[in-house]
Amino acid sequence: VNRRTVPVVAALRGVMEDFNGKQSGGIRVSLADLIVLGGCAAIERAAADAGVEVTVPFTPGRRDTTQELTDIEMFTWLKPMVDGFRNYVDDQYGQIAQGVSPEQMFLDKAQLLALTAPEWVALVGGLRVMGANYDGSSNGVFTDRVGVLSNDFFTVLTSMEYEWKPDVREMTFAIDDRDTGETRFQATRCDLIFGSNSQLRAVAEVYAGNDGHDRFVRDFVKAWDKVMMLDRYDVHG
C-alpha cells in the first residue's frame, strides 16, 4: 500500500467493517486495535526485508469512541506544537514557542512517553527509515531503502563522509557528501539531535556498528510495544 495515495485509516476502516460484518456471537475488532496491529505487521515485514526475523507483540482490547463522546475543543488545545517522532512542527511554532527549540520540545515528548535515552533513539531511527514523517517528506529519511528496517539512519548520522549544512533559519539541513558536494539527504533539528548530543550519539553509534543492526531492530520493537501499551490501564492495572 502506498501511504501517500491511500488514506491508511480509511483503508483500515474498510477492513474492520468487512471483518465485523462476517462475524457472529459478538466478535468484533476495533479500529484502534487494527491501527496498532497494522503497525505491528508492517514492522515485522520491514524487519524481514532487512534480514531480521522478529515477532512484534500485540495485545488486543482497545475500544473505539464516538464523535459524540469526543470533546473536540479540548483535543484542539492538546494539539502538539512539535512532534519530533513524526518530524512535525506547527506553522505557528516560531510565534508561540519563542526561546524553546524543537529538539527541546521533542525531549519533553519523549519524557512524557516514559522513554529512556536508548528507547528514544531506537524508536526514532526505526520511524525514520520506515518513512513515517507526518507529511511524507524525506527529512531524516537517511536511506535509499525506505520501508526496510535497516540501521541506515544511524550509519549516515554518525558518518564523517557527510557534512551538515543549515538553512538560514537553522531549522532544516542539507546532508552533503564531503567529497562531491552532492546533497544526499535532508534533515531537521529533531533528526540531528541524535548525532550532536553526546549521550544520544553514543547510543546511535552502537546501532551504527557492523554488529548493531540486529540489536537495533529488537530494541526498536521493544520501544514500539512500550509506547503502544502506555495507555492500557486495563492491562497494567
- Residue percentage of the chain with pLDDT more than 70: 95
**206, 142, 198: which is closest to 173 by C-alpha?**
142
Q: Is the pLDDT of residue 1 over 80?
A: no
pLDDT for position 9: 85
Quickly tell me which residue has 497494567 as its cell: 236
Model confidence over 153-193: pLDDT tens digits? 999 999 999 999 999 988 999 999 999 999 999 999 999 99
Model confidence over 52-101: pLDDT tens digits? 999 999 999 999 988 888 888 888 888 888 999 999 999 888 766 677 89
DSSP 168: T
Distance linking the first and last C-alpha atoms of the chain:
37
User: What are 13's three cell numbers?
Assistant: 476502516
Model confidence over 200-223: pLDDT tens digits? 999 999 999 999 999 999 999 999
pLDDT band at 5 (very low <50, low <70, confident <90, very high): very low
